[in-house]
Amino acid sequence: MRHKHGYRKLNRTSSHRSALLKNLAISLIQHEKIETTLPKAKELRSYVEKLVTKARVADFNSHRAIFAVLQDKEATKKLINEVAPKYVGRNGGYTSIIKTRIRRGDATQMAFISFV
């Protein structure tokens, strides 16, 4: 049983799952709105919100910590310089998930995830 289990496995190994979340986070930071499946969007929400919380401090240590997670210079710069300053006075809830459609190929619920 998975009572109070902490995360969704998304039918992937741990390394594949971490790479998936990293790439989704980079895409979300670059485009500020992406469409993905609902379970992926729900997992991405907690992943990205932790990064935004770190980025709100905007010092050298937070820059290094975020780059260590994302491994992308442009996304790190955009997150720290453009995205995070919008949420300095906000305690969490930086993203919103909007259900959109059911994908035709496999009947999966799709959703938009974007910054508020």
| DSSP secondary structure code for residue 59 in this structure | S
For residue 2, pLDDT over 80 is answered with no
- The vertex-86 CA angle with 47 and 34, nearest 5°, equals 45
Mean pLDDT of 58-80: 97
How much is the pLDDT for 88?
A: 94
Predicted structure pTM score: 0.93
Torsion of CA 110, 15, 60, 114, to 10 degrees: 0
How much is the pLDDT for 27?
A: 98
For residue 1, pLDDT over 90 is answered with no
How much is the pLDDT for 3?
A: 87
Amino acid at 73: K
Cα–Cα distance for residue pair 87/62, rounded to 1 Å: 15
Cα–Cα distance for residue pair 32/12, rounded to 1 Å: 25
The CATH H-level superfamily of 14-115 is Ribosomal protein L17 (3.90.1030.10)
pLDDT level of residue 105 (50, 70, 90 thresholds): very high
Query: Under DSSP, is residue 94 helix (H, G, I), strand (E, B) or coil?
Result: coil
